[in-house]
Amino acid sequence: MLICADQDIPDVRNAFAKLGDICLLPNDGITRKAVANATIVLVRSQTKVDRSLLQGSNVRFVASATAGIDHVDQDYLRKAGIGFAHAPGSNANSVAEYVLAALLCLSRRRREPLSGKRIGIVGVGQVGSRVARFCQALGMHVLLNDPPKQRQTHSASFLPLRHLLEADFITLHVPLTHSGPDATYHLFDRDRLAELSRKSVLLNTSRGAVVETNALKQLLQNKMLGGAVIDVWENEPEIDLALLRQVDIATPHIAGYSWDGKRRGTGMILQATRKFFGIKPAAAAILTSDQLPSLSRQAPPRCPDDAFLENLLKKFYDIEQDDARLRRIELLPRHEHEDYFRKLRRDYPCRREFGARQIELAGKNSDVASQLTALGFSVTVCERGA
């Protein structure tokens, strides 16, 4: 069978080679004509999957190597009898690590420790729950909001959204939905943004349209908000440059772009494809990630401060490099902006998750080792450092 796949899905040719003939296409090459004779179509978030792409084709199964699915018309797929799968949670570690990197960066810039600060987490799914664990490990006070989970569990751990609006940080981890009791389109609109504390910092790694751009821009311009970290943008790849200039950290929708997360996503859609077509799963593990060489560090005499953690984290990910790359967009002619934004995503450098490298910690401070482990690092304690 013919498999049409986005060429930027990591290792997609090797992963799917035994299932059929593979045609790799650039994102903008996944067209109605290109997929007409395909049995399987594999996409990423830039491809809109709906009737206009698939009507009249031979496609029986679509998979998106992404956690988000707002680019897929699932109702149409169901009615057309086309199977569908995606990769929920594949990039959850990556996004949570991005949030941690942003928090530590802001801590350094503002010379304010994170311990004791309050953070409101809106959406406590695969990503939000990891962010909560990281923030608790940092000694932050964590406030949770997730109406669907609250209704399901009746847990007192979940608070109404208004109870989070005075927090020092508010981070968004919700899907983009336009209808229903928990619609998230412009969840943070002009009115809700106006309720935030003047010292609050808003972090958005979910979808750009969860926040009303013009309202956020105005609040930041008028110094009515403590700051913002924006990875996702309304109308991307055409982003609002005035908002870009106002935010503390700006990145091109790459929070979930770790090498490990991408490979995990490829493996998940491969297994889902095998299951749909009744193909026996491979006996060996799929697309296992290589372990990086270990890293030696001297344990601090007490729980590590934010500077120690940020310096360690930068061995894996320097968020300020992503920020600097995106800000170079203003040096380009306007007509090149969208292509540049896409290029930053397409050619994103290899970024590994915290667990990909063993941290050899010299010293016997068990509190330090416990905290680093809680933050997702792989830690071994040794007698002396390198």
Q: Do 279 and 19 form a contact (C-beta atoms < 8 A)?
A: yes
From residue 162, how far is each of 54, 113, 181 by CA, in Å? 43, 25, 16
CA 323/CA 231 separation, integer angstroms: 9
CA 160/CA 126 separation, integer angstroms: 20
Q: Is 207 a catalytic residue?
A: yes
| 314 Cβ contact partners less than 8 Å away, ≥ 6 residues apart | none
From residue 40, how far is each of 1, 23, 59, 263, 272 by CA, in Å? 8, 10, 6, 19, 12
CA 266/CA 20 separation, integer angstroms: 16
Q: At what angle do helices 366-374 and 126-137 cross, to 10 degrees?
A: 160
Marked catalytic residue, from 236, 263, 310, 345: 236
Q: Is 253 a catalytic residue?
A: yes
CA 262/CA 256 separation, integer angstroms: 8
Marked catalytic residue, from 44, 130, 253, 345: 253
Residues shown for the chain = 386
Tell me the torsion sign for CA atoms 286, 289, 290, 294.
Answer: negative
Q: Comparing C-alpha atoms, which of 221, 253, 217, 258 is closest to residue 238?
A: 253
Q: Is 236 a catalytic residue?
A: yes
Query: What positions carry a catalytic annotation?
Result: 207, 236, 253
